[in-house]
Amino acid sequence: MIYDVVVPTTGRESLDVLLAALGAADGPLPARVFVVDDRPAAGAALVVRPPAALRGRIRVLRGRGAGPAAARNVGWRAASAPWISFLDDDVVPAPGWRVDLARDLSDLPDRAAGSQGRIRVPLPRHRRPTDWERNVGGLERARWATADLVYRRAALEDVDGFDERFPRAYREDSDLGLRLIGRGWTIEPGRRRILHPVGTADRWVSVRKQLGNADDALMDALHGRDWRERAGAPRGRFGRHAATTAAGLAALVAAGTGAHRPAAAAAALWAAGTAEFAWARIAPGPRTREELATLLLTSAAIPPSATLARVRGHRRARRIVRTTPEAVLLDRDGTLVRDVPYNGDPALVEPLPGVRAALDRLRARGVRLGIVSNQSGIARGRLTAAQAEAVMARTVELLGPFDDVRWCPHAPEDGCACRKPAPGLLLAAEPPEVSPA
């Protein structure tokens, strides 16, 4: 079993703990560990302290500060192993993690895209967990959480990896899972275990987390309103948050126009909604002075924060869906690679500047890519079909993956239906609705 590990990081101290545990675990070592420095601002080089077992295996890559989805794409595209293990920089592999990983992968069926590790969140035993601790504890029940998920490289190539339009550590894993399932893959539960400590957080962390509602709106647009059931995601409280926010706004508007009774009624509804939400969070405990103050303040702030994020998310999602094509078909010579007339030599294939980065940006937005090319040199005897296939294979090797690759072997005088500008190649390519370039 050969596997690479990809760890996106913002430079947290927990990265050293992860690497130490990964190196100390029993079982086969990863071929390479790609640590993707995803700090937003370029500054001093990231300092990585590898344990002895991983020395010479760790490579630090520079991300764009665009979030974990983009950082993971940087990592797995630089990797070459048939299996890619994604770990968050704040997890701790169990001592037998590498042994269990090998067992998990050896048991997978051919159409399994990957294996989900078992996440354990250590919660306090001497008292009831806080609201934030319970929130992190939900990772134990999460489906397809990339805190510990190993994917086949072939499966990642099949769906072009993570969708970089998800800028947060939220829903990017569910989106990838749904796309893999939609392509006929499965994601199997594994036996290996990993520890996910709660970590420290300030009073307002739960309010900032409401930005994830924008990603929920994008999920609605990309996967339909039933995506939660298919992804195993709980429904949440957004409907109640929206109703509470609407009542608060109505109270303010009515009060501003002098409608005192409607303002009082709307204010009462807002207060009732806020109180119900606060109590739902307070009831499980602990009811310390600090926890009570935090929950009372944030319970008033969360509904409008969630509603505003969802509204902005819907606007962005509509714009994305409206302006993003399902697929793009590209010519090869002079568009993707330097034009060498009647080229039959794979060694002469040279990508044009900027092409790889442009293709990766399209893939990151979920756009499927295809090549359609006229190769009349076959009919004219200037190269063989085998040579044309070898050159196309080299193009795919340098710039792929592509969802479809087709070429016409005929001469213009043959009158075929596949030579561009005839639509034969375009009609034969999948999916049927494409945007030729």
Q: Which pLDDT value is given to residue 320?
A: 82
Dig out the tokens for 137 from the structure: 């504890």
State yes or no: is 16 an active-site residue: no
Task: Output the CATH code of domain 327-436.
Answer: 3.40.50.1000
Q: Which pLDDT value is given to residue 73?
A: 96
Q: Which pLDDT value is given to residue 360?
A: 85
Answer yes or no: same fold for 3-201 and 327-436: no
CB burial string 46-78: b at 16+ within 10 A, e below: bebebeeebeebbeebebeebbbbbbbbbbbbe
> Residue 411: what are its φ and ψ, rounded to 5°?
-90, 160
Residues 6+ apart with CB under 8 A from 410: 376, 378, 379, 416, 418, 419
Residues of the chain scoring pLDDT < 50: 431-437
Query: Which pLDDT tens digit goes with each residue over 218-242?
Result: 999 999 989 999 999 998 999 999 9
Q: Which pLDDT value is given to residue 427?
A: 82
Class at the top of the CATH hierarchy for domain 3-201: alpha beta
- What are the helix and strand counts (H, E) for the chain? 15, 12
State yes or no: is 110 an active-site residue: no
Query: Which pLDDT tens digit goes with each residue over 337-353?
Result: 999 999 999 999 999 99
Q: Which one of the listed residues 16, 158, 331, 404 is annotated catalytic?
A: 331
Every domain of the chain and the residues it spans: 3-201, 238-323, 327-436
Q: Which pLDDT value is given to residue 219?
A: 96
Global pTM? 0.78
Q: Which one of the listed residues 333, 339, 403, 404 is annotated catalytic?
A: 333
Rounded CA-CA distance 253/259 in Å is 9
Q: Which pLDDT value is given to residue 42?
A: 63
Rounded CA-CA distance 7/33 in Å is 8
